[in-house]
Structure 1
Amino acid sequence: MSDKPAIGIVGLGIMGAPVALNLASRGYKVTAWNLEREYYDRVKDEGVAWAESPAELWETCDIALVCVLGDDALEDVALGDNGFAAGQGRAKLVIDLSTSSPSATVDIAERFKDKTGADWLDAPMSGGPQPAREGNLALMVGGDEAVFKRTETLLRDIGSNVTYMGPLGSGQKTKVLNQAIVGVNYILMAELLATAKAAGIDPKLLPVCLKGGLADSSILQRIYTQMMNDDFDPPRSYARQVNKDLKSVHKFLGELDLDMPMIELAVTRYGEFAKGNDMADSASVSRLYQRD
């Protein structure tokens, strides 16, 4: 009999499905629920079981993972009519892998603990679908340090780079900074590509020329190259996700009473693109700069 904890996962989207597949391949018993039942097709042939609701999932697992889009979805999964708290609990811990606002995370986690007694770690992930499938994500974790240490083996099966950042909410605060870097660089790469074309420089040579230099980055090598090749189908991630995350950055800056014009400009520009392009690849923001 396996000594690994039974895992439940809510959310089988671009990131949640590969996380579920990764854990199943490592010998964990995994049960999943997704609002759209058809998403279960992504994992059902790999030994992942199905629950009819988050409440039922909570009753089948030791640890519940959440990978959903936004604060409202997180609250509904945890505290809604068919949420975890409605289950006759077996699970004792929620690990939120999604990107949520720090203030909402703390509020939902505290209300959830009052209602169920269960612990909560905010552990937003970064890296993309392929690292998620391989267990090579970066996780930034907030919550009680003793709970983190007890759960570290599981976390390191999900991510090869796992960092404890501090009390509850600290993971999401760190993810805000991560998304500020990513969001600004999506816009920067799009503008860089447009500038290279306008200047008569072969855009394909730029990542080659700059590789290993101070200006090099994984965003230059991956996202710029994707933009350069107009390689957006099928989407690797969705524009709605980046747009949502940048809105969270904007909100967080407001809560800190900070004026960060470079970040705010990226928030505005990406928001302009996302209107009508929610389900487009997040890197296709480069089309905002295309000349007819």
Structure 2
Amino acid sequence: MADVSTIGFGGTGLMGAAMVRRLLQAGHRVMVWNRTPEKAAALVAEGAVLAADPAELAQHCETVILCLTDTRAVEQVAFGSNGLSHRPGALRRVLDHSSISPTATRAIAQRLKEQTGADWVDAPVSGGIAGAANGALVVMAGGDAAAIEQASPALRAYARAITRMGDSGAGQVAKLCNQTVVATTLCAIAEAVSLAQRSGIDAAALSTALAGGWADSVLLQTFVPRMTTPPAQSIGALATMLKDVDNVAEAMQQAAVHAPVLMAVQERFRQGKAQGLGEADLSQIVRVAKPA
């Protein structure tokens, strides 16, 4: 029998796991699914219930939240042989925190609505793993206003702001705008760090020297230390950002936006992946700006 008060969650990687923990801490009952079940074991030990497949989430939960790697993964979870659309007993809405293309999002939303009657809300986030753990994420949402409002109590467990940007796909467009600024800024910081190092000054001091000035930002304060002292733990892979930058480039082309800066950033991230840095922390884009 469906327990509509339980929230379903698919994709318990670093970001997803942090979100699930916040949901549990807020008192929500959570049913989780992950492609590799072992990666959800710690969450089950903390009170979550493990689902055998996405279809089980849809059978038992009105709201299902996804945090997946790319478009292919999202489509498989939604429409695969044991996907959400296979057994949508309780399903009323899906919130997708994955960063995928707006075009793919609109197609997925329409298909899910036709097959199950459920709403699809694209709800990409910004703030990173630390933001999820601290309940400080910002959510950029696209889709039905009522569906977003109905899902808001769950979102507020890990988000400090939820903004509806428009209809289906609008949240993903907003995320692409976010990633345009983030990726471009990361490359600028990497080049600044390299300039400081090659000029013989203490690059690590840049975060202090520039604090409070126009160049200061969360990204500057986060990544100057990580670029000058390689981090022990990753907060995001270079290849994941490249996936987003590729989606930005596609959206720019479709919208007829002249984007020479973004094209240069895309090439920089492609160079990083070609150098074998795809799984490295985002900060290691500095190794492309300043090859060893």
In the alignment, the residues of structure 1 paired with residue 26 and residue 198 of structure 2 have an alpha-carbon distance, to the nearest angstrom, of 49
Q: State the shift of 1:229 in Å.
A: 1.6
Would you say the 8 A contact 2:4–2:61 is kept in 1?
Answer: no
Q: 2:28 is matched with which residue?
A: 28
Q: State the shift of 1:32 in Å.
A: 0.9
In the alignment, the residues of structure 1 paired with residue 14 and residue 288 of structure 2 have an alpha-carbon distance, to the nearest angstrom, of 24
Q: 1:170 is matched with which residue?
A: 170
Q: State the shift of 1:4 in Å.
A: 8.8
Would you say the 8 A contact 1:55–1:84 is kept in 2?
Answer: yes
Q: 1:235 is matched with which residue?
A: 234
What is the identity, as a one-letter code, of the residue corresponding to 1:40?
A
Q: State the shift of 1:8 in Å.
A: 0.7
Q: 1:215 is matched with which residue?
A: 215
Where does the alignment leave 5 or more consecutive residues of structure 2 unmatched?
none
* Alignment of structure 1 residues 144-163 onto 2, 5 Å: 144-163=144-163
Where does the alignment leave 5 or more consecutive residues of structure 1 unmatched?
none
What is the identity, as a one-letter code, of the residue corresponding to 1:238?
A
Provide the secondary structure at the position in 1 that maps to 2:203: coil
Which range is displaced more, 111-120 or 40-49? 40-49
Q: State the shift of 1:17 in Å.
A: 0.8
Q: State the shift of 1:88 in Å.
A: 4.1
Q: State the shift of 1:54 in Å.
A: 0.4
Q: Which runs of 4+ in 1 moved over 4 A?
A: none
Would you say the 8 A contact 2:71–2:101 is kept in 1?
Answer: yes
- TM-score w.r.t. the length of structure 1 is 0.95
Q: State the shift of 1:277 in Å.
A: 2.4
Q: State the shift of 1:242 in Å.
A: 0.6
Q: State the shift of 1:230 in Å.
A: 1.8
Provide the secondary structure at the position in 2 that maps to 1:15: helix
**Alignment length (residue pairs):** 289
In the alignment, the residues of structure 2 paired with residue 203 and residue 283 of structure 1 have an alpha-carbon distance, to the nearest angstrom, of 14
* Alignment of structure 1 residues 66-215 onto 2, 5 Å: 66-215=66-215
In the alignment, the residues of structure 2 paired with residue 169 and residue 198 of structure 1 have an alpha-carbon distance, to the nearest angstrom, of 43
In the alignment, the residues of structure 2 paired with residue 5 and residue 32 of structure 1 have an alpha-carbon distance, to the nearest angstrom, of 14
Q: C-alpha offsets along residues 47-89 of structure 1, whole Å, 9 cap, x if unaligned? A: 1111111001111212000111111111111111111000142
Q: State the shift of 1:166 in Å.
A: 1.1
Q: State the shift of 1:225 in Å.
A: 1.9
What is the identity, as a one-letter code, of the residue corresponding to 1:16?
G
Q: 1:257 is matched with which residue?
A: 256
Q: Is residue 226 of structure 2 the alignment partner of residue 226 of structure 1?
A: yes
In the alignment, the residues of structure 2 paired with residue 157 and residue 25 of structure 1 have an alpha-carbon distance, to the nearest angstrom, of 8
- TM-score w.r.t. the length of structure 2 is 0.95
Q: State the shift of 1:91 in Å.
A: 1.7
Would you say the 8 A contact 1:121–1:148 is kept in 2?
Answer: yes
Q: C-alpha offsets along residues 121-173 of structure 1, whole Å, 9 cap, x if unaligned? A: 11101111122122211101111112222222222222002111111111000
Identity %: 34
Would you say the 8 A contact 1:14–1:237 is kept in 2?
Answer: no
Q: Is residue 9 of structure 2 the alignment partner of residue 9 of structure 1?
A: yes
**Cα RMSD (Å) of the superposition?**
1.5
Which range is displaced more, 4-13 or 113-122? 4-13
Would you say the 8 A contact 2:59–2:88 is kept in 1?
Answer: yes
In the alignment, the residues of structure 2 paired with residue 29 and residue 149 of structure 1 have an alpha-carbon distance, to the nearest angstrom, of 19
* Alignment of structure 1 residues 55-74 onto 2, 5 Å: 55-74=55-74
Q: State the shift of 1:238 in Å.
A: 1.3
